[in-house]
Structure 1
């Protein structure tokens, strides 16, 4: 009985933290010509479980999909299978990079979480603060940058990464 109560409390607490995106998801698209040069002079970086650092400057010329998530977030967990499948389908495309970023920064726990579910998506943590235009208080959040490092979309809330429309848009961005 005590275990059930603990899991119930944990579930309710995670819902409280995830509540901003239980309603309608929000998406911010950037209009053509809008000044979104937040990457100028700012080098956002990520760290993987082997302590390798990856910077946005290293990824110029590639479309970058950044998914911010946590292991305790139900909407994050719901979208994870389609994100992992997206990674599987696009990992051989060197023009599209998918970064799964655990905001808790506990890469050991994240790796165990991914291995237990047999996901092959590599996990990163933030190695620097997100610039104001990308920061968020809600997860999951997906950020897509074009090949020049400019913000294309910031979507707060769960996504279906298996959508053919979404996949076509990524491919189109990678060809521009």
Structure 2
């Protein structure tokens, strides 16, 4: 992931700090009703893996950081959030919102889904994370097994 950004609180998010991690990436924006609808389930996902430092949850928002901070006052989102992410979304060829990706430690997209599909999205994200963790423990790497939802 060729990323060199700061999150909305000023913390660095870059390829060096993400190297070797499983990345769960959500592309969204504040005015997207389906994006907002899936946030509680995404937050549960973060809680499920909060003790696993090999997994990083990143949300790329189209909105300006101050708009996101206002939104977060009413509705928490536990992902590390990067604002003003239009170029990053374009780089990943995101055409629908929300879009969720799971990226292997080697930087390959392992799972991709576009649009809101409720529990199904969460199920496939979890399944992808567990498969990548299993691949890592069996042979030390994670080959791409891209699944589309």
TM normalised by structure 1 equals 0.64
Extract structure 1 runs of 4+ deviating beyond 6 A. none
- Considering only aligned residues, what root-mean-square deviation do their CA atoms show, in Å? 2.4
Where does the alignment leave 5 or more consecutive residues of structure 1 unmatched? 1-38
Structure whose alpha-carbon radius of gyration is higher = 1
1:52 aligns with 2:20: no
Normalising by the residue count of structure 2, what TM-score does the alignment of the two structures yield? 0.75
- Residue matched to 2:99: 141
Among 60, 65, 79, the residue aligned to 2:24: 65
Structure number with greater CO (CA < 8 Å, separation at least 6) is 1
3-state DSSP of counterpart to 1:100: strand
Q: How does 1:1-176 map to 2 (within 5 A)?
A: 39=1, 43-104=2-63, 106-125=64-83, 129-130=87-88, 134-159=92-117, 160=119, 161-163=121-123, 166-176=125-135
Query: Gaps spanning 5+ residues in structure 2: where?
Result: 136-149
